Amino acid sequence: MDQHVIEAELASAGDLLDSTPIAHLAYTGTDGTPRVVPVGFWWTGHQFVVSTADTAPKVAALSTNPDVALTIDTGGRPDDARALSVRGRADVRIVDGVVEEFLAAARKTMDTEAAAQFERSCRQMYDRMARIAITPRWARYYDFGAGRMPVFLQELAERSGR
């Protein structure tokens, strides 16, 4: 996918990226089978950053096979459903202490006092963390209520007169 198209799709999803704290990360486990796990994320404007313990199974798996997919979605009804689908490669780095984007992502859902307590707990718990930076190579944003849907659904809707 052309970089300009990726950037346009991601820009269209700005509100979703700012307001949604959880994504679903798909990757291939070390045994070769697919995995999908919920993860907190931080969008830097160029990469999605996911953080975890350096001993988490996904760290070993992504170090071997860095190809991933990420979905961020919201809405419980068709008229307010929005989703961003991303494909890319993960770059895993082990860092001392807590990954700063991990704390920034947590702050999306916490007031100041809760965020401070969370940070203290994390700094006690993690001597090291894995910082997983996902660079998008493909992205598509859907806003079903606004009629921005996958091409195959748009074609079905047009054929059915909707």
Q: Which residues contact 74 (CB under 8 A, 6 or more apart)?
A: 16, 19, 20, 80, 81, 82, 83
Domain that holds residue 96: 3-159
Q: Compute the average pLDDT of residues 108-115.
A: 95
Distances (CA, A) of 129 to 44, 70, 98: 18, 20, 6
Q: Rounded distance, CA 103 to CA 41, Å?
A: 10
Q: Say what the pTM is.
A: 0.91
Mutual angle of helices 100-107 and 112-125, in 10-degree steps:
150
Q: What is the pLDDT of residues 7-36, one digit of tens each?
A: 999 999 999 999 999 999 999 999 999 999
Q: Residue 121: give its domain's CATH number.
A: 2.30.110.10
Q: How many domains is the chain partitioned into structurally?
A: 1
Taken in order 36, 41, 43, 47, the sign of the CA dihedral is negative
